[in-house]
Amino acid sequence: MINETMTSIMKARQQRTRRFVLTTSILVLLALALCATMLMLGNTIYPVKDVVAVLLGEDIKGATFAVGTIRLPRMLAGLFAGFAFGIGGYVFQTMLRNPLANPNVIGITAGSSAAAVFCIIILHASNTVVSIASIVGGLATTLFIYFLAKGTSFSIGRLILIGIGIQAMLNAFISYLMLIGKTHDLPTALRWLSGSLNGVKMETLMPLMIAVAIFTPLLLIFSKRLEMLELGEEMSISLGVDTNKTRILLIICAVLVLALATAVTGPIAFVSFLAGPIAKRLVGSNFSALIPAGLIGVILVLASDLIGQFAFTTRYPVGVITGIIGAPYLIYLLIRINRKGDI
pLDDT above 60 for 330: yes
CATH topology of domain 19-340: ABC transporter involved in vitamin B12 uptake, BtuC (1.10.3470)
pTM recorded for the entire structure: 0.89
- Chain segment 64-115, per-residue pLDDT in tens: 888 888 899 999 999 999 999 999 999 988 888 877 777 777 778 888 889 9
Task: Give a three-class secondary structure readout of the chain.
Answer: CHHHHHHHHHHHHHHHHHHHHHHHHHHHHHHHHHHHHHHHCCCCCCCHHHHHHHHCCCCCCCHHHHHHHHHHHHHHHHHHHHHHHHHHHHHHHHHCCCCCCCCCCCCHHHHHHHHHHHHHHHHCCCHHHHHHHHHHHHHHHHHHHHHHHHCCCCCHHHHHHHHHHHHHHHHHHHHHHHHHCCHHHHHHHHHHHHCCCCCCCHHHHHHHHHHHHHHHHHHHHCHHHHHHHCCCHHHHHHCCCCHHHHHHHHHHHHHHHHHHHHHHHCCCCCHHHHHHHHHHHHHCCCCCCHHHHHHHHHHHHHHHHHHHHHCCCCCCCHHHHHHHHHHHHHHHHHHHHHHHCCC
Question: Quick one: pLDDT band at residue 303, thresholds 50, 70, 90?
Answer: very high
Q: How confident is the model at residue 304 (pLDDT cuts 50, 70, 90)?
A: very high
